Structure 1
């Protein structure tokens, strides 16, 4: 069973900007599974961190849609779908509503933006702007928790990856990639939202008998470009963590009259395969799809 090394406060501050939260989670570590780390994080965030701590965590995030060079790598990854789908007018409207929101509530608009397009984020911002302050504070805290869980999964994945083997070299691309081809048109499929997830409980792998599939944690999201290729879905590491992964494609927005509202592909990376590359493409048409392991 993989165990994350004891966390430092600085480690946790990359995940959540509340110093009270960071100190408490670091003191509780190490964890023998991602599931236990997530359980501890949720308990601390909801039961031990006060409003001051919540506001401190909120303040560590840039306004949604910010493209400044000071924005962290994780924030850029989480906002990649919103940034890639924002038009000039949408970006301007987001900026204006961000300012209105901060003026009303006193903190930055919090949303787990992973996989959300700019119009979706803007619509949610407008909807929540009507909330009473106490209601919105709790909604923002829940969104912060979602971001915390997503970043913990990234941290855990990086820490439990197998060490590099002798003679191995740095990859020129992430270990898991994908692209989408529209087989009905015979062309790349651009503008499809893609999510990469990992099964978070190493002690209980996913199976056909799982009814709810609640064990997945998002590692990254992207939108396919004009060549049908997704952007980076995970960190560019030499050794990928072994386990079960799922790539999901939001085909409903690409082909709204098609038969499949979305497509999910689940695959396993074994411990003997951690240095290999996994290219998992989707060949899609309105009424059929297929996949394969490519290079």
Structure 2
């Protein structure tokens, strides 16, 4: 867990220096929490651009080899080692036509935005990457800067998992504490806090909720609530992904749910679902299970909203429910 090691995870020198100052980390969750705080609150736009510049164009590994030929960047956990491995998996089946299209669209993208196209390539095919490149090329510069920063954060978290996995293995520690972390799903870094790993912070979870029983005119207490994140596996064409549990809790006497995820000032963009076990509550309070045994509220957090707080209340009655984005 040295500055050079963290520089391999993210090419921003400010990021690497700040991470080294906070290290060592006793768990991946704590390392990710620190990385998010540093990336979104300590690293400025110039630092973001520095990190973007550490990535080659998609498919152009040789330029990266030349650019980072020094020992500083070519170690076991170097930028070159990470980038080449990530792109090799994404482009192993690319044909000449796709590679040429990628090269052409990369030039168009860089001409418009002034930095390389950045995407977390893990699990994505060359055609998926090309489609994303074309789609994002239509964005406004300020929006695309945010998109690139969000993709960098995803890449950083995957590399941190690999870095910490190798660190535990090399130190002779308990490798089961980290496990095989070479392909960590997004939701793995969004889990609810536990007493042993939750950081001391005055931040609140980015997603919160409460329930109001509009039929009785009082809070809906003791309702089981769970939060899921849609993991887009992209293993096969047409794959819609799967829901991964982030955390669960229960509403208190005021109808407010306990923490469903770690306190943070950054929220992973994507699709979320809050599930309320309304059937058990209605059977207990109203003598029947109501029309809906559960209430699912699905909503999307866009990259431009990742620093915002999402409060999603549920207004509940035996035969209806509604929801809205609160404050």
**TM-score, normalized by length of structure 2?**
0.51
Is 1:18 paired with 2:26?
no
Cα pair distance change 1:115/1:95, threshold 3 Å = same
Q: How many residues align?
A: 191
Is 1:74 paired with 2:87?
no
* Mapped partners of 2:80, 2:13: distance in 1: 18
Match of 2:158 among 126, 131, 150: 150
Match of 1:93 among 101, 110, 117: 101
1:172-191 → structure 2 map (5 Å cutoff): none
The structure whose RCO (Cα within 8 Å, separation 6+) is larger is: 1
Question: In structure 2, what is the equivalent of residue 120 of structure 1?
Answer: 128
Cα pair distance change 1:144/1:196, threshold 3 Å = closer
TM superposition shift of 1:81: 3.2
Question: In structure 1, what is the equivalent of residue 49 of structure 2?
Answer: 55
Match of 1:38 among 32, 51, 58: 32
Helix, strand or coil for the counterpart of 1:82?
Answer: helix
Question: Who wins on radius of gyration, i.e. which is larger?
Answer: 2
Question: Structure 1 or 2: larger helix share?
Answer: 2
Long gaps (5+) in structure 2: 66-78, 174-178, 195-223, 244-327
Is 1:65 paired with 2:67?
no
CA RMSD, 1 decimal: 3.4
Per-residue CA deviation, residues 152-182 of structure 1 (Å, 9 max, x unaligned), is 00001111126569xxxxxxxxx98xxxxxx
Contact 1:112 1:147 in 2 (8 A): yes
Match of 1:132 among 130, 137, 140: 140
Helix, strand or coil for the counterpart of 1:142?
Answer: helix
Contact 1:82 1:115 in 2 (8 A): yes
Cα pair distance change 1:164/1:9, threshold 3 Å = closer
* Mapped partners of 1:33, 1:44: distance in 2: 17
* Mapped partners of 2:157, 2:46: distance in 1: 20
1:227-266 → structure 2 map (5 Å cutoff): 250=235, 252-253=236-237
Contact 1:80 1:114 in 2 (8 A): no
Helix, strand or coil for the counterpart of 1:72?
Answer: helix
Contact 2:120 2:154 in 1 (8 A): yes
Cα pair distance change 1:26/1:163, threshold 3 Å = closer
Cα pair distance change 1:118/1:45, threshold 3 Å = same
**TM-score, normalized by length of structure 1?**
0.56
